[in-house]
Amino acid sequence: MTLYLDNAATTPVRPEVLEAMAPYLTRFFGNPSSHHEVGEAAASALDDARARVAAVLGMRASDVMFTSGGTESNNAAIKGLVLGSGKTHLITTAIEHESVLASADYLRRLHGVEVTRARVDATGSLSAAALDDALRDDTALVSVGYANNEIGTVQDAATLAAVAHARGVPLHLDAVQAAGWLPLAGLGADAVTVAGHKIGAPKGTGILALRGRLPFEPLLHGGGQQRGRRSGTPDVAGAVAIARALELAEHERAGEATRVAAIREAFTARVLALLPEARVTGHPHRRLPGTASFVFPGTNGETVLLELERRGIVSSSGSACAAGSDEASHVLLAVGIAHDDARTAVRFTLPHGLSQSLDPVADALAEAVRAVGSRG
């Protein structure tokens, strides 16, 4: 039986989520914009889903917009808030998800926006001082990942928000990896991104919450649904699904984070005992509870993954959005890891509900690394 340890890439849909969304795929199938009984039932479900999401995020229901996933939400937040502001400077970092970096590059190429990648340290952390140094009078937005998808480093989001707000600049927080592991309310973020398939909802579901009446230029134009911020008939079943998944993840968050972090720490310690040449990437303490990321100098990460899969263990070398690329991870390069070592990366991302020891995984990993190293 395969042990799946690539939960940062995607997670299975939870049974409770399937149960919650099923009626809106069949019996309550109406268009929520239709002014009749069938449409109003769908609209009521959409409103309820929005309120449930807002409660977890500590925002108002009217702030919540449902999207097709994290990539759309990041694109909409960055392009929409920068273009809506009338300003021409954007701050992000070099370790962000591809959807953030590509959105920033789009604004640079086609709209003349100047993009600053604020410096992070060797753990992937963005300091308040580094952000403050990057801020300017014409800065439209700061866009930062709450937790990095490859190395798991968690940013001090509340402090970064305070630094940005002191200069009158809004903060967009990409919380795709953080949801279910870290608190999402009370951080001071002006825009928050969540992807459903990372927390037990179907792929193709997402959230972008925009606080208050921030100037925003929508990506999609048409019938003016979702306060004119995202035209198009909303996916009611998807909204119900992601709201239920987020609610469940938040309810379980504190207990799961503590328990899974302990399993990860024991796993990491065993890996380092078996493979003293290995290096842990990311922040040693301020990291996602379920993320353990390593480099194994002298090997090839993709080959180690194949050896692990032969032993019934599925993990990854980093972002699923860059899978199949021979290029070294931009995240690892940005935190100062040498190119050759960056190509040896292996990432394990653990699920909610994990209870067993990962000692057998560490043992299999040691076998895999030695097998690959002996060929080199």
Per residue in 322-351, pLDDT tens? 545 567 999 999 999 999 999 999 999 999
Integer CA distances (angstroms), 70 to 77, 122, 332, in order: 10, 26, 22
Q: How confident is the model at residue 1 (pLDDT cuts 50, 70, 90)?
A: confident
- For residue 189, what are its two tokens? 């973020």
Q: How confident is the model at residue 321 (pLDDT cuts 50, 70, 90)?
A: low
In angstroms, the CA 205 to CA 217 distance is 21
Task: Of 91, 48, 65, 28, give the one whose Cα is nearest residue 244.
Answer: 48
Which amino acid is it at 292? Answer: A
CB 8 within 8 A of CB 321: no
3-9+253-375 fold = Aspartate Aminotransferase, domain 1 (3.90.1150)
pLDDT value for 326: 62
CB-facing half-sphere around the CA of 357: CA atoms within 13 A: 8
Q: Which residues are catalytic?
A: 321
In angstroms, the CA 219 to CA 230 distance is 7
CB-facing half-sphere around the CA of 15: CA atoms within 13 A: 0
CB 237 within 8 A of CB 43: no
In angstroms, the CA 161 to CA 188 distance is 6
pLDDT value for 24: 96
Which amino acid is it at 122? Answer: A
pLDDT value for 373: 76
Q: Which tens digits make up the pLDDT trace of 7-63? A: 999 999 999 999 999 999 999 999 999 999 999 999 999 999 999 999 999 999 999
pTM: 0.95
Q: How many C-beta atoms lie closer than 10 Å to residue 302's C-beta?
A: 18
| Backbone φ and ψ of 60, nearest 5° | -90, 150
In angstroms, the CA 144 to CA 119 distance is 12
In angstroms, the CA 12 to CA 30 distance is 27
DSSP string, 185-219: SSS--SEEEEEGGGTTS-TT-EEEEE-TT-----S
15-249 fold = Aspartate Aminotransferase; domain 2 (3.40.640)
Chain region(s) in the chain for CATH 3.40.640.10? 15-249
Q: Which tens digits make up the pLDDT trace of 235-279? A: 999 999 999 999 999 999 999 999 999 999 999 999 999 999 999
Chain region(s) in the chain for CATH 3.90.1150.10? 3-9+253-375
